[in-house]
């Protein structure tokens, strides 16, 4: 039984590196007083938040699928992880000069994650991507 858990940990390692590196990237970008992004339209930052956390949900799903055997648990853990990270990211920004915490950004983060989770769930149902989520 111990070997099985070591095997899961070994198989999850690349996905964990990607997920936590991505979280670190978001943290570093949030620590910048100003980000150089071109202005295309009003509220484009919400779309950027949406897309960034949709991608985070993909990496979360890939990482946590190694440890969770039920799809419902995978959905909940992925959603909570992304939403909580978005919340702490907004809190972190409140301490960065020139930045502020915005509940609309957190909402965009959470919606982006939920959107990707819905896509991944539909793909899981349609293509049975994994015979067992724990494998």
- The per-residue pLDDT for range 14-23, each reduced to its tens digit, is 888 999 999 9
Quote the mean pLDDT of the chain: 86
Q: Which residue has the tokens 């919400």?
A: 46
Where does 94-128 have alpha helices with state H? 103-127
Q: What is the pTM of this model?
A: 0.84
Residues ≥6 apart with Cβ < 8 Å to 67: 8, 12, 134
- Contact yes or no for 49/109 (Cβ under 8 A): yes
Between CA 131 and CA 135, with CA 132 as vertex, the angle to 5 degrees is 105
Distance CA 109, CA 101 (A): 13
Distance CA 36, CA 41 (A): 15
- Contact yes or no for 86/110 (Cβ under 8 A): yes
pLDDT confidence of residue 134:
47
Q: Which residues of 91-120 are buried (b: 16+ CB within 10 A; e: fewer)?
A: eebeeeeebeeeeebbebbbbbbbebbeeb
Distance CA 114, CA 108 (A): 10
pLDDT confidence of residue 37:
74
pLDDT confidence of residue 114:
98
């Amino acid at each position: 039984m111990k070997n099985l858990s070591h095997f899961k940990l070994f198989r999850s390692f690349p996905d964990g590196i990607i997920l936590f590196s991505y979280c670190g990237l978001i943290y570093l970008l949030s620590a910048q007083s100003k980000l150089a992004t071109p202005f295309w339209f009003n509220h484009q930052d919400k779309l950027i938040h949406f897309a960034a956390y949709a991608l985070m949900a993909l990496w979360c799903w890939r990482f946590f699928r190694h440890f969770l055997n039920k799809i419902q648990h995978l959905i909940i853990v992925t959603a909570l992880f992304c939403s909580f990270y978005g919340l702490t990211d907004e809190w972190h920004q409140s301490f960065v000069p020139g930045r502020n915490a915005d509940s609309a950004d957190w909402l965009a983060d959470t919606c982006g994650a939920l959107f990707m989770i819905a896509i991944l769930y539909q793909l899981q149902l349609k293509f049975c991507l994994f015979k067992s989520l724990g494998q």
